[in-house]
Amino acid sequence: MTAPTPSDTAAAFERHDHSHCAGAVMQAAEGRARAEGLRLTPVRRRVLEILLEEHRALGAYDILDRLKAEGFGHQPPVAYRALDFLVEHGLAHRIRRLNAFAACMHPDTDHAPAFFICAQCSAVAESAATPLRDAAQAAGLAIGFTIERVTIEAIGTCPACHPGTAPSPQVPS
Amino acid sequence: MTAPTPSDTAAAFERHDHSHCAGAVMQAAEGRARAEGLRLTPVRRRVLEILLEEHRALGAYDILDRLKAEGFGHQPPVAYRALDFLVEHGLAHRIRRLNAFAACMHPDTDHAPAFFICAQCSAVAESAATPLRDAAQAAGLAIGFTIERVTIEAIGTCPACHPGTAPSPQVPS
DNA sequence: TTGCGAAGTGTTATAATAGTACATTTCGCA
DNA sequence: TGCGAAATGTACTATTATAACACTTCGCAA
Ligand SMILES: [Zn+2]
Ligand SMILES: [Zn+2]
Ligand SMILES: [Zn+2]
Ligand SMILES: [Zn+2]
């Protein structure tokens, strides 16, 4: 419910009661929506739920497939609009490296996170990136560049996929 | 010719004798190719030249347009293959935020840079990102994540486009 | 020097991702 | 109740990227 801690973030890579954590995030999102007067309509809510259920990054067309299976509209804008809404209000994040989207796991904190993407199992963890952003800010300052937003996305191997354990491959480098 | 310095990087945003700097980079690239036995074939060389001439990020299809105008193949793979080669060998970089490519301005140093992209004029500067990468590494370590590559791309306003001067807008946020 | 295998090039075709435009419905609110 | 704004659904299009295959060129070794 508060700012993401390292152990928090690491949890993303571990087996956990996901329906529980997804439920908690959903509640936080609903809280935000109520507090800020956001309209968490059926499509939007369902898209967020789908992202939470998967707990990984999904492409817009993956989302769209599910939406149409559930009787929502079946054209790309249906998915893109819901995703745009969620991203715009910080309930989801866009992961450019993967051309995909993931639910925000800390929707109640105002943040600009870094992402850790496991190349083996495709899990994505979201982590506070304040030191990173400060370093970027400093580097920008040195060349007179004013930073508005920084994208920080790391590809690598998550703890669950390190030599020793051996999950299933899914994502290209 | 050596590691990029802040003033080096800042130069990207300033008016400069670009044919000179492009020539120097081209020579460095040729040196690398010779030293490492890379085959800098006509298409590949021309793509690199085009990127250097523009000194900004270009989409694969922008490149392709020029290639066909110059009598090279006119199908996407022609551009993508040349770009893949250049990226793979560190002579160009892919900028995911823009779905575009830019010539590497320091092909003689082994590096994994950060990018500063001006939202007004679309200029792109490439900067050493060691502190950033160290911070990322540390953040990864804290959650047991082994980083392979990190993408760092900042969007903002370059010195030339700051209130005071007023260049032309080109790139969306 | 010849000729073989690997690398590079060109082409067709198609996949995957993203956005425009516009009609219709729903919602918040006066 | 009804108006204007927001949201939804659809058709259509644009943009970015890859697969598959034929042909050529290159490096190199017999
Ligand atoms: Zn979970
Ligand atoms: Zn988040
Ligand atoms: Zn230059
Ligand atoms: Zn570079």
Asked if residue A1 is part of any domain, the answer here is no
Of B9, B10, B150, the CB nearest to A154: B150
Asked if residue A35 is part of any domain, the answer here is yes
Asked if residue A87 is part of any domain, the answer here is yes
Asked if residue B151 is part of any domain, the answer here is yes
Whether the pTM exceeds 0.85: the reply is: yes
- What's the DSSP call for residue A75? S
Range of the domain at B108: 6-156
Asked if residue A124 is part of any domain, the answer here is yes
Cβ B158–A135 below 8 Å, yes or no? Answer: no
Annotated binding site for Zn(2+): which residue ranges of A? Answer: 118, 121, 158, 161
Q: What is the pLDDT of residues A56-101, one digit of tens each?
A: 999 999 999 999 999 999 999 999 999 999 999 999 999 999 999 9
Asked if residue B164 is part of any domain, the answer here is no
Confirm or reject contact between A112 and chain B (CB < 8 A): no
Tell me the mean pLDDT per 10 residues along chain B, length 173: 60 79 94 93 97 94 97 97 97 97 90 91 89 90 93 94 59 46
Q: Phi, psi (5° rounding) for residue B55?
A: 55, 40
Domain at A16, CATH number = 1.10.10.10
Of B96, B135, B158, the CB nearest to A132: B135
Q: What is the pLDDT of residues A111-121, one digit of tens each?
A: 889 999 999 88
CA angle B121, B132, A154 (to 5 degrees): 90
pLDDT of A9 > 80? The answer is: no
What distance in angstroms lies between residue B92's CA and the mean position of ligand 2's atoms?
Answer: 31
Alpha helices in B37-146 (DSSP H): 42-54, 60-69, 76-88, 130-142
The number of domains in chain B is: 1
Partners of B153 on chain A (C-beta within 8 Å) are 96, 150-151
Asked if residue B131 is part of any domain, the answer here is yes
Residue A128 confidence (pLDDT): 86
Residue A172 confidence (pLDDT): 47
Asked if residue A14 is part of any domain, the answer here is yes
